Amino acid sequence: MSSAQGDSKPWLVGVFDRAAPSYDQIGMAYHEHFGRRLVEAAGIGTGAVVLDVACGRGAVLLPAAERTGTTGSAIGLDISEEMVRLAADRLRNGFPHALVRVMDAENLEFDDRSVDVVLCGFGVFFFPDPLRAIAEFFRVLRPGGVVGLSTWGDEDPRWRWEDELVASMSVARRAITQAFDEPGEVEALLSSAGFEKVRRHVEHLDIHFQDENEWWAWQWSYSIRGMLEQLDDAALERYRTTAFVRMARQRETLGFPRRLTAQLTIAHKPA
């Protein structure tokens, strides 16, 4: 890992610590929706031992714990202490077989071949070294074990201007190392680590923002916050004003609809 990659982790921890209170709390809990879909796609059975890497506030962890039952276990991992604290709060009622720990995805503190399923919801694109993380997933899985990743897919055409606006920001750090949003990219990553029987499913969810201010609050609730925090007051106001002008052109009766597209990719470690 390069020095620049290593330095990015403390910065990313701070971004998500500050975003955690509103993370997945604005614009509908879409992580909850896609988290359940990822758990369903992985086919988790009763009694399984499951790791949820980059667990956030538990969108994947809680449905995974429901699937394993008390004869199994579900362990959530995240480098953000605040995310771990909030996920732990959600586990206190009804999930004695689940727990959360602060841990780096690229250095999993688990024995070889010790878990049945590794899940990672919308996290792989933040890892400074994605292949190293996936190699860790492979290492800790038992033969025949399952890995499941969710990544974003096609952007809603109505909101492509937002990507262009973000791309134009002059900032030193960006949270995403590689988007993995093109078909075949996640499959290639998993195959290169030794996984087989790779399959991908595309899932959609329609959300909406009631007004521009809700969208603005949402911007501070996830990784883009790290970029906004690097802007000076004038640049931040230009970004907000430009976005509001663009949004005004696409307002509908219920506000501002948006279609989210996720890629759910499942693979197996050879038996």
- What value does the mean pLDDT take over residues 74-90? 98
21 phi/psi in degrees, rounded to 5 = -60, -30
- What value does the mean pLDDT take over residues 58-83? 98
The model carries a pTM of: 0.96
45 DSSP assignment: -
The chain-wide mean pLDDT, for the chain, equals: 96
How far is Cα 147 from Cα 172, in angstroms, rounded to an integer? 33
- For the chain, what percent of residues have pLDDT higher than 90? 95
Q: 11 vs 172, 178, 226, CA distance in Å?
A: 11, 17, 8
Q: Does domain 3-268 have CATH number 3.40.50.300?
A: no
**Tell me, what's the pLDDT at 3?**
33
How far is Cα 154 from Cα 252, in angstroms, rounded to an integer? 22
How far is Cα 265 from Cα 34, in angstroms, rounded to an integer? 12
- What value does the mean pLDDT take over residues 133-156? 98
How far is Cα 147 from Cα 34, in angstroms, rounded to an integer? 16
Residue 99 has pLDDT above 90, yes or no: yes
Q: What are the tens digits of pLDDT across the range 206-251?
A: 999 999 999 999 999 999 999 999 999 999 999 999 999 999 999 9
Residue 133 has pLDDT above 80, yes or no: yes
Residue 1 has pLDDT above 50, yes or no: no
What are the boundaries of each domain within the chain?
A: 3-268
**Tell me, what's the pLDDT at 161?**
97
| DSSP β-ladder status, 141-152 and 256-268 | antiparallel
What angle in degrees, to the nearest 10, is found between the helix axes of 81-91 and 61-68?
A: 40
Tokens of 69: 């039952």
| Least confident range of 22-31, 87-96, 102-111 | 22-31
Q: What are the tens digits of pLDDT across the range 28-49?
A: 889 999 999 999 999 999 999 9
Compute how many other C-beta atoms are within 10 angstroms of the C-beta atom of residue 181. 17
DSSP of 194-251: T-EEEEEEEEEEEEEESSHHHHHHHHTTSTTHHHHTTS-HHHHHHHHHHHHHHHHTT-
How far is Cα 28 from Cα 254, in angstroms, rounded to an integer? 14
Residue 7 has pLDDT above 90, yes or no: no
- What value does the mean pLDDT take over residues 253-261? 95
| Residues listed for the chain | 271
- Exposed / middle / buried, residue 164 (Cβ in 10 Å: 0-12, 13-18, 19+): exposed
Q: What are the tens digits of pLDDT across the range 169-184?
A: 999 999 999 999 999 9
121 phi/psi in degrees, rounded to 5 = -90, 115
